[in-house]
Amino acid sequence: MCLFFYNKTPRLLHFLCIISVKASKIGSEFVAAFGEYIAILGLDHMLYMIGLIMIGTALFIKRDKVVDNKKVVTLIILMASILQQIILYGSYFHFMAFDLAESLPFHISRVSSILGIIYLITKNSKVFKVVSFFGLFAWTSFLYPSRVHGVLHPIGISFFINHLVTLLLPFYGMIAYGEVIQKGDKKSVFPWFLLYLAVAMCVNWLVDGNYFYLKHKPVLSSLSDVIYIPLLILFAYIIFSIGEWAYTRVSKRF
């Protein structure tokens, strides 16, 4: 595959492809092979979780230094987020012919990533609240990954960067910029989630897509949409409530 795209793939993606394939020859016995999906609690999944724990721990332990150097840290996070966008959409274009059913920015993690970039540039508190609540879904896809590529694939690398930033950005905003989530904020964000869900359903219908994993359901796959969608809305409200409770208590510590 790398040889096929040698003259067409951007340098960054070509470099990642070469590294990934060479690494797969060494480590394919231990991690998911290039192009395969990872197993829950497999080595790839564990590596993703260990990376999150290590960087998250550093963020909290070194929060004083983070505050003192927030301009530099913010720039690093912003550059990583933009790089992730390039890797993700470049990979879909070159490896999957930009299949509209998979490649559009309508997974909620992709929406959160774009909103995260907007927040890092604008420091808008309203955007911060939406990112914080939308990002709660990243916990579900990170802890229970569905159709996720491994550490040897550029899209797997994109998945890790996306979820790392999305999951830690709410806490970074609280630490670096004094952002807070207050009781009742979920009610102002929840209508935006319902709008997102409606858009995802429409796009899925138009392109036979799997956005928000409504086609390939990670759980309760046998349920019809008539039952599944209301349950999904209820689940969303529950995790918004739990997230609001947790965010309000964490923000008081900074």
- Domains of the chain, by residue range, sit at 11-180
Distance from C-alpha of 57 to C-alpha of 253, rounded to nearest angstrom = 15
**What is the residue whose two structure tokens read 């959160």?**
112
Q: Which residues contact 10 (CB under 8 A, 6 or more apart)?
A: 90, 94
CA angle in degrees (0–180, nearest 5) for 62-171-127: 140
Full pLDDT tens readout for the chain, 254 residues:
344 433 444 555 555 555 444 444 444 455 666 668 888 889 999 999 999 999 999 999 999 999 999 999 999 999 999 999 999 999 988 888 889 998 999 999 999 999 999 999 999 999 999 999 999 999 998 988 878 888 888 999 999 999 999 999 999 999 999 999 999 999 999 999 999 999 999 999 999 999 999 998 888 878 899 999 999 999 999 999 999 999 999 987 77
Distance from C-alpha of 17 to C-alpha of 142, rounded to nearest angstrom = 23
**What is the residue whose two structure tokens read 């999957």?**
96
| DSSP character string of 33-58 | PTTPBPPTTSHHHHHHHHHHHHHHHH
